[in-house]
């Protein structure tokens, strides 16, 4: 698994390349990646799963952990370009009740930008 990031209109887009699967190296990589984003004040993220070949239960756990860390910091994390295999897992486990998913990365970015505007207006 490899992670990369880019900024799109103030929102961090995290691309997951390869298989989103468990293992000590991947767990540390995923945890440290999001920890560093939050340390830089980047608390709004779209996780792009369009180049993710597969995910197992530990990989889904990485997403849950990232979501929890980001929301506990006052931000939000959404998923984009979720492949069918992962969508099926999210459906069966009812995690779609937690994760917002979008067909396109830009749709996820737009959603988070609107959320950020709403928070700035009230806060």
For CA atoms 30, 32, 35, 37, give the dihedral sign.
Answer: negative
pTM beyond 0.85: the answer is: yes
pLDDT digits (tens, 9 = 90+) for 60-119: 999 999 999 999 999 999 999 999 999 999 999 999 999 999 999 999 999 999 999 887
Q: In the chain, how many domains are there?
A: 1
Structure tokens at 84: 């069918």
- Position 121 scores a pLDDT of 72
Domain span at residue 10 reads: 2-122
101: domain CATH number? 3.30.750.24
């Amino acid at each position: 698994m490899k992670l990369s990031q880019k900024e799109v209109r103030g929102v961090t887009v995290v691309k997951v390349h390869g298989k989103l699967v468990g293992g000590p190296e991947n767990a540390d990589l995923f945890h440290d990646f999001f920890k560093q984003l939050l340390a830089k004040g980047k608390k709004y993220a779209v996780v792009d799963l369009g180049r993710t070949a597969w995910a197992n239960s530990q990989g889904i756990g990485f997403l849950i952990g990232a979501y929890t860390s980001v929301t506990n910091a006052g931000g939000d994390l959404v998923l984009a370009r979720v492949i069918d295999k992962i969508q099926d897992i999210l459906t069966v486990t009812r995690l779609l009740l937690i994760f917002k998913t979008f067909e396109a990365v830009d749709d996820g970015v737009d959603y988070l930008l609107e959320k950020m505007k709403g928070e700035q207006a009230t806060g």
